Amino acid sequence: MKFLSLFVLVPHIIYNCAQSCTNTDRFNNKWFGANCQYKCHCKNNVACNVTNGDCPNGCVSGWFGPACQYADIAKNATLTLNGDLTQEVDKMTDGDDATCAALTGSSLELNVNWSFKFYFTWLRIVSKNTDELQKESISIKFPDNVTTQHMTCVNVIIDNVTLDIYCNISKATSKILLKGSAVDNMCSLYIPQGRNVALKQPTGQTTLQDNHVYFLSSNAVDGNLNWSDNSCTHTDDSSDPAPMWTLVFNHNVTVQAYTIYNRVGAASDAYCCLARLKGFILTTFDQSNQNIQNYTDTLTSPQEVYNVLPTDPWAQVSNVQIEATYFDDKDFKSKVLTLCEVEIFGDSVCRKDNFTYGRDCENVCNCAVPGEKCFVGTGNCPSGCKAGFYGQGCTKPCAAGFFGIDCRNKCSNNCSSQQCERVAGKCNSCSLEGKKLPYCTQDCDPGFYGADCKLNCSKNCSQTGNICDVINGSCLGCNPGFYGDNCTTSCPHNCKDSVCHINSGNCISCKAGFKGTHCVEECSNYTYGEGCKIICSHNCNSNFTGPRVCDSVNGQCLNGCRSGYDGLDCSKSSSLTDQEGDCEEELAHGIGIGIGVMIAVDIVVGIAFYIWFKRRQKPPPHQNDTKDRTYDRVDPIQQNEHPYYTVDKSGDGYDLVKDVVTYDKNKNSVSTEADK
């Protein structure tokens, strides 16, 4: 069927609540929102917050969730526990989280059954035992041709007693089985059919009976179910051959169920109205006017309330049409369409790329994983709330003492008053002195102490290792020259290397010449050195008129030595010194004699050589013989070489060394091998 645009309808059939609306209508219904388009569902029909719809005393039975906007069909279900009807399972669906069933047994399986089918999207469990409420504490099974196995869907912890479970099931069901520790400790079970997304949406119809305000098309979405309060629609009963009612959503929605309330007549004329919807046609379209669903009533008898399931619960619906097809010429001249209320249960469709949620996609997801799409109805995230937040829509900052994703982590006991920043759990301050921020689990860094390690150790503390006590700041070691709790007192002047005990100030050892715990006492007359532990030499002259026998620092005898001793400390014997002198004199005398002997030998050898040489210069016999003579086996070198002995004085003794003397008659000179 072709979609009938609202623009061709008469203007007065379009209804919208004024901007300055009040939150109570003529039927005593309470409303909230910018245009009073959302109905309050608070206990005792009290007014809800006009801005966000929060109920001061909780939701009326049959509704739950954000602003109590979600219809709870668990209230209409039959519950059994392991097939046992005797247990207090009815308390799970009474809408009161304070009433909890006293269940017996463990690992119980809860059977939830309806007389009709619906599309499951999510459920909520409120538990009495916070320790048992974990993400893995429940599993779910859909026996109606969906799955026969328990399956784990996306479980989201809302707070310390509330758990939401989301499942994308594409087939309608009339039975759910729940099992796990969350069942054993369950106080409340909520299963939504969606929220009524039809309320106060723009509507229109083809004609208007008697042009009367009581029959406006908007009466079908005014939230009033009573047919007798002049709040039903009515087309012209005399001139409309194809009466039709139309709703256009302000933004796309997904639909889980359509509920249509028929016009019921007076007891005396009941037949007049119910038959008008017999064989009606419901048609839905997407934003491009493409047909999504065509439903035609095939029931043989008219109903006061019609329930219609969509063919695709995830299709994005933009507008809905309802057309009357039944005609009875006994009462009217044409077909008549009368609707007392049209409820469309589903939820908004928000753009995937802007990560929003809410009735008008007005809120931004606040998930632990950046860029994650949250659930449109609640704002809850598959990954949990961003660190530092928890609750429905992840909008509540962590309570004092908690931090992290979903605020599930407790602040460390090391944090002062167990208070920490809510994102990473960093302590505001440490409960124990000597611990450093941010987590107060580690000792102060070297050089710091006290609360949050904000105090500096004394500059006189030793700069190696742990400088001072992380709690009270007392130095664990001092720089040379200081002692005391904060190393502020100087060590005694005469401590060796200026080092003293860190607590008492007693010198570890004294400089030479001093003794005592603080090294203020000079050595006694007969002692000297570090700590005066060395006794002056007994060879020091004790016949003195001065105050000391020896110097208190180096032990030098101050008044000379006893007879027979010498040296600064009189440690050398003077008799030993004389003997050493005699030895030296005798050694020198022996060396002189040896040198004299050597000189005498040289003189004798020289004279002998001289005589020999002169003899060689005399003319040989036959000097008057002028004839040349020849000498066999005598070469010139042999004629001119003569052996002689020299004295080698290079060593400690004297050695005679044979040498060869050569005479060169051309040069008239003598040389030896040693000269060459």
Q: Is the pLDDT of residue 99 over 80?
A: yes
Q: Is the pLDDT of residue 41 over 80?
A: yes
Is residue 642 within 8 A of residue 663, CB to CB? The reply is yes
Which amino acid, 514? F
Cα 166 to Cα 169: distance, rounded to the nearest angstrom: 9
pLDDT band at 265 (very low <50, low <70, confident <90, very high): confident
Residue ranges in 266-337 assigned as alpha helix (H) = 271-274
The pLDDT score that the predictor gives to residue 651 is 42
Encode pLDDT of 488-523 as tens digits.
899 999 999 999 998 899 999 999 999 999 999 999
pLDDT band at 185 (very low <50, low <70, confident <90, very high): confident
> Taking all residues of the chain, what is their mean pLDDT, rounded to a whole number?
82
What is the fold of 31-196?
Jelly Rolls (2.60.120)
pLDDT band at 327 (very low <50, low <70, confident <90, very high): confident
The pLDDT score that the predictor gives to residue 565 is 92
Encode pLDDT of 568-585 as tens digits.
989 888 865 454 444 444
Cα 57 to Cα 106: distance, rounded to the nearest angstrom: 33
Is residue 168 within 8 A of residue 106, CB to CB? The reply is no
Q: Is the pLDDT of residue 622 over 80?
A: no
Other CB atoms within 10 Å distance of the CB of residue 656: 11
Residue ranges in 203-298 assigned as alpha helix (H) = 271-274
Is residue 472 within 8 A of residue 486, CB to CB? The reply is no
Q: Is the pLDDT of residue 311 over 80?
A: yes
Encode pLDDT of 402-460 as tens digits.
999 999 899 999 999 999 999 999 999 999 999 999 999 999 999 999 999 999 998 88
What is the fold of 510-577?
Tie2 ligand-binding domain fold (2.170.300)
The pLDDT score that the predictor gives to residue 145 is 60
Is residue 145 classed exposed, middle or buried when 0-12, 13-18 and 19+ CB atoms within 10 A define those classes?
A: exposed
Per-residue buried b or exposed e for 275-297, using 16+ beta carbons within 10 Å of the residue's own CB: bbbbbbebbbbeeeeeebbebeb
Q: Which residues pair with 621 in a beta bridge?
A: none
Q: Is the pLDDT of residue 652 over 50?
A: no
Q: Is the pLDDT of residue 43 over 80?
A: yes
The pLDDT score that the predictor gives to residue 615 is 65
The pLDDT score that the predictor gives to residue 7 is 37
For the domain covering 6-16+200-348, report its CATH number.
2.60.120.260
The pLDDT score that the predictor gives to residue 657 is 41
Q: Is the pLDDT of residue 15 over 80?
A: no
What is the greatest pairwise CA distance in the chain? 204
The pLDDT score that the predictor gives to residue 64 is 96
